[in-house]
Chain A
Amino acid sequence: QKEVEQNSGPLSVPEGAIASLNCTYSDRGSQSFFWYRQYSGKSPELIMFIYSNGDKEDGRFTAQLNKASQYVSLLIRDSQPSDSATYLCAVNSGGFNKFYFGSGTKLNVKP
């Protein structure tokens, strides 16, 4: 079982819709959770960070964390074609060598 699981996609949504990206993790001791966006051929860039149960909003992005269910999600409101990318979920279980990336979900936003 992988430490961080993501559906590889692609997830296709029309422009203006809400895109919902999901991630599950296996270590109950995980403390902090990150969403990165990676355009094709580019390096990952941080979108959001969350560590408390509940929702955290930043512009069009909302991260949701449910530690009991070991589940973290990213909602993108009013999706734009420029949001088309691979979204990586990352989880830190507290130790130096316990920072794990998921394999990413590819999002396609169609005009």
Chain B
Amino acid sequence: EADIYQTPRYLVIGTGKKITLECSQTMGHDKMYWYQQDPGMELHLIHYSYGVNSTEKGDLSSESTVSRIRTEHFPLTLESARPSHTSQYLCASSEGLSGLDSKSLFADTQYFGPGTRLTVL
């Protein structure tokens, strides 16, 4: 079982507030990801990281920012929350080995945290 944690699990907050969603993993994985998922809808990649001091934007435009100062920690910040940010936010990590052998390909497996359900009023 993957050891990846997210806090808070649920958050209800007013418009305009700054919030940080926490994500930590204890597996030493290099790659980490943030996804946004509305109920019954598909996952959208909003940020990812190759490793420490590496962050990239994903396919879905997002007003959030991320940082990766430590391998195990990948927080996501919204400077000014809006109702349109209401969604479920899922953090994931993968080992991320290079190569085409079975072990390396399996290392791309993403393990998900329990998610943070955010409601902005």
Contact = CB atoms under 8 A, between A and B. Distances in A.
B110 interface: yes
Given A43-B113, A49-B109, A103 B102 contact: no
Given A44-B112, A45-B112, A96 B42 contact: no
Size band of the B side of the interface?
A: 20 to 34
B56 A99 contact: no
Interface in A54-111: 88, 90, 92, 96-97, 99, 101-104
Given A97-B48, A102-B42, A43 B106 contact: no
B82 to A, nearest CB: 23
Contacts, number: 52
Contact of A43 (B31, B109, B114): B114
Contacts of A46: 109-111
A43 B90 contact: yes
A88 B42 CA distance: 9
A31 B43 contact: no
Interface of A: 31-32, 34, 41-46, 49, 51, 88, 90, 92, 96-97, 99, 101-104
Given A92-B108, A97-B59, 17 more contacts: A31-B100, A32-B105, A41-B39, A42-B114, A43-B90, A43-B114, A44-B43, A44-B112, A45-B112, A46-B109, A46-B111, A49-B105, A51-B106, A88-B43, A96-B48, A96-B56, A103-B41
